[in-house]
């Protein structure tokens, strides 16, 4: 995700969010509203045998991805028991003693556990794509890169059971996105044979301080192509609309919240929008969520989508592989920025 700087001083003329790439966005108030709504899309049609059904839902997704970059998916076909199990496993993990969680602290190993901080009041555990858990894996011998806590039976199995279901849904959604971009349905198939598909569980204690001083997670955008978020019923996810208002993404039981991420916005030449969002947990109790970050094969070039470029609207970004783009973004997050000058990258 993109780290940000937020200016909410009382004497500031305009409230702003500054993304790590330098882009600055203004907003009207730090208090969220329910006056604007995020679209709710019935996903049952993505599994239809009828092309006209799939095209119809693709048009709804096209509008949502273009206008706000967020939408709910209902009737998506994944049993709620999988989501319940992952949230239960999250509660098990985050209830562990701090010294146990620190065995896989991100400062000691390449990924996994992220500590709670005062400004962003949340903690997280990450795990990555594992070919052995992918029924459609191209290379089943590809080694796993994730590191797991010891003495927590059923934890890995519960998380990957859900991950595999979301992987299947994401591949189907990629075909629907192709239709949404008025491309052949199989246009992105080669990009997702070996996808990026990381997942995260998050724990948010209740926030005691004001929204000006503390967030669950601060304003940011996601990096990959799109994100599928499972959230509990606590609420707290908020989306910055084009009108400059923070919109509450109120929980809809059994639904997913899907958002466009930066790599897909680049590839569609800004036709799809990657929208700033944050978490404010003022529910009065702990909040848990599980975002699934889906992206294209890192070895593939993020070539411009042909229906999104023309002589009048040339490509706004240099073309590079997914791996080069993700590496640049990682370097930006670490404040090294070593790839930026070398490749002339814009985010």
How confident is the model over 59-100, as pLDDT tens digits?
A: 999 999 999 999 999 999 999 999 999 999 999 999 999 889
Q: How far is CA 315 from the centre of its chain?
A: 24
Report which of 259, 223, 218, 226 is spatially closest to residue 241, judged by C-alpha positions.
259
Collect all residues with Cβ–Cβ distance below 8 Å to 218 and sequence separation of at least 6: 3, 4, 6, 119, 120, 278
Backbone angles phi, psi at 55, to 5 degrees: -70, -35
Where exactly are the structural domains of the chain? Answer: 35-343
Residue 16's pLDDT is 64
Backbone angles phi, psi at 326, to 5 degrees: -65, -35
Residue 137's pLDDT is 94
pTM of the entire structure? 0.86
14: its two tokens: 């305009």
Inter-residue contact 324 to 296 (CB < 8 Å): no
Query: CA distances (Å), 111 to each of 126, 127, 158, 292, in order?
Result: 7, 8, 19, 15
Q: What is the CATH number of domain 35-343?
A: 2.60.120.330
The model's pLDDT over 298-325, given as tens digits with 9 standing for 90+, comes to: 999 999 999 999 999 999 999 999 999 9
Residues in the chain with pLDDT values less than 50: 1-13, 213-214, 335-347
């Amino acid at each position: 995700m993109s780290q940000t700087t937020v200016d909410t001083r009382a004497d500031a003329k305009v409230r702003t969010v500054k993304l790590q790439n330098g882009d600055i966005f203004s907003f009207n108030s730090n208090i969220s509203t329910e006056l604007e709504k995020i679209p709710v899309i019935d996903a049952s049609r993505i599994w239809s045998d009828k092309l006209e059904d799939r095209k119809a839902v693709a048009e709804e997704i096209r509008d949502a991805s273009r206008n706000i970059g967020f939408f709910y998916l209902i009737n998506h076909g994944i049993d709620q028991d999988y989501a319940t199990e992952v949230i239960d496993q999250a509660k098990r993990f985050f209830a562990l003693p701090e010294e146990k969680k620190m065995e896989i602290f991100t400062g000691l190993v390449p990924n996994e556990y992220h500590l709670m901080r005062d400004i962003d009041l949340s903690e997280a555990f990450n795990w990555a794509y594992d070919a052995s858990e992918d029924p459609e894996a191209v290379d089943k011998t590809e080694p796993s890169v994730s590191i797991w806590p010891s003495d927590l039976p059923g934890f890995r199995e519960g998380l990957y059971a859900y991950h595999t279901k979301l992987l299947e849904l994401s591949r189907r959604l990629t075909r629907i996105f192709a239709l949404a971009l008025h491309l052949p349905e199989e246009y992105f198939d080669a990009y997702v044979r070996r996808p990026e598909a990381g997942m995260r569980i998050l724990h948010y204690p209740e926030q005691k301080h004001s929204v000006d001083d503390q967030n669950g997670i601060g304003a940011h955008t996601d990096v990959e192509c799109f994100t599928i978020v499972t959230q509990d019923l606590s609420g707290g996810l908020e989306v910055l609309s084009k009108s400059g208002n923070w919109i509450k993404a109120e929980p809809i039981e059994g639904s997913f919240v899907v958002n466009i991420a930066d790599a897909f916005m680049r590839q569609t030449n800004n036709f799809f929008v990657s929208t700033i969002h944050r978490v404010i947990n003022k529910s009065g109790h702990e909040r848990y969520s599980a975002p699934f970050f889906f992206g294209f094969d890192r070895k593939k070039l993020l070539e411009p989508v042909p229906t999104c470029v023309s002589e009048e609207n040339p490509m706004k970004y240099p073309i590079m592989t997914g791996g080069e783009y993700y590496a640049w973004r990682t370097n930006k997050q670490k404040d090294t920025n070593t790839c930026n000058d070398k490749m002339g990258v814009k985010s």
